[in-house]
Amino acid sequence: MEDGNAKKQKVMVVEDDNFLGDLLLDHMTKNGVDAVLYRDAETALDAIKKEVPSLLLTDLLLPGMDGYELLAKLRELSILPPLPVIVLSNLSQTEKIQEGIALGVKDFLGKSNFDLDDITKKVQDALAQYASSAPSVPPQP
């Protein structure tokens, strides 16, 4: 029986490629992941300010505000950390990966060799890890 007070975990996907974004959303949903898709970082940031998801899966190369700017703004707002972030991107330069890690990214996945099952499994594992380590009572200001 599900606890009526338990917060349902939601994944936010930020991906501007229509085909890949729809594919990710469809595959995760079919595998029991409650996910929502945003096509740009500005809209995603506005949504996060209203309701912080359980996990963020984002591209870095986005129109307008890029993924690094999104992560920096989330850090300024003290949302990142603790919000777990997985990056799905074609960027593979070491300095870019280090920049993401410095901003709080938990994992990097390459678009060039992605597998939908692997991505969904990483998301599910990250959600389980976050749920088991998250405080049961939110910190008080």
Domains of the chain: 11-130 (3.40.50.2300)
What's the whole-model pTM score?
0.84
Q: What is the amino acid identity at position 43? A: T
pLDDT, position 92: 65
Sign of CA dihedral 108, 113, 119, 122: negative
User: Poorest-confidence range of 12-26, 72-86, 98-112?
Assistant: 98-112
pLDDT, position 12: 97
Of 58, 53, 48, 46, whose CA–CA distance to 105 is shortest? Answer: 58
Give bridge partners of residue 107 from the DSSP assignment.
86
Q: Please give the Cα distance from 117 to 31 (Å, whole number).
A: 9
Q: What tens digit of pLDDT does each residue of 79-88 get?
A: 877 889 999 8
Q: What tens digit of pLDDT does each residue of 31-55 get?
A: 999 999 999 999 999 999 999 999 9
Residue 53 DSSP one-character state: -
- Of how many residues is the chain composed? 141
Residue 82's Cα: distance from chain center in Å? 12
